[in-house]
């Protein structure tokens, strides 16, 4: 078989056109490389979220176990969260306001420019 230059050129052009169509379809088609890349990014986000939720779940399970078994932990939680005190104890509360709030006559900050 002998091809003329014109026929060989048409065949090469047609072949390049088909190859470029296949590359475009593989890259941008419904399930192409772009879609695959997006799905992989989404998968990574979900895996990271699953890991975070597993760690949070483990921390909560450990806290549940401590609440069931550790009397000192229950007491500290009651003191901290509910403000509970033992019989015979005196609870002192301090006002933690800044000195500037306590003394209304003192300047409260840098002077404003006019």
The per-residue pLDDT for range 54-89, each reduced to its tens digit, is 999 999 999 999 999 999 999 999 888 888 888 888
81 compared with 114, residue with greater pLDDT: 81
What pLDDT score was predicted for residue 85? 86
Alpha-carbon span 7 to 13, nearest angstrom: 10
pTM: 0.51
- Residue 90 pLDDT level (bands cut at 50, 70, 90): confident
* Res 36 pLDDT > 60: yes
Which range, 36-40, 50-54, 92-96, has the best average confidence (pLDDT)? 50-54
Alpha-carbon span 75 to 61, nearest angstrom: 19
Alpha-carbon span 3 to 16, nearest angstrom: 17
- Residue 114 pLDDT level (bands cut at 50, 70, 90): very low
Whether 49 and 43 have beta carbons less than 8 Å apart is answered as no
The DSSP result for the chain, as a single string, is ----HHHHHHHHHHHHHHHHHHHHHHHHSTTSHHHHHHHHHHHHHHHHHHHHHHHHHHHHHHHHHHHHH-HHHHHHHHHHHH----TT----------HHHH-TTS--SSPPP-
């Amino acid at each position: 078989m002998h091809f003329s230059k014109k026929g060989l050129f048409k065949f090469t052009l047609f072949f390049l056109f088909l190859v470029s169509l296949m590359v475009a379809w593989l890259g941008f088609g419904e399930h192409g490389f772009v879609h695959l890349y997006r799905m992989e990014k989404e998968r990574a986000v979900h895996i990271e979220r699953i890991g975070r939720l597993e760690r949070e779940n483990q921390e909560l399970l450990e806290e549940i176990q401590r609440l069931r078994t550790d009397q000192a932990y229950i007491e500290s939680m009651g003191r901290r969260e509910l403000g509970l005190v033992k019989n015979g104890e005196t609870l002192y509360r301090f006002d933690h306001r800044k000195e500037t709030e306590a003394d209304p006559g003192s300047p409260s900050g840098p002077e404003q420019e006019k």
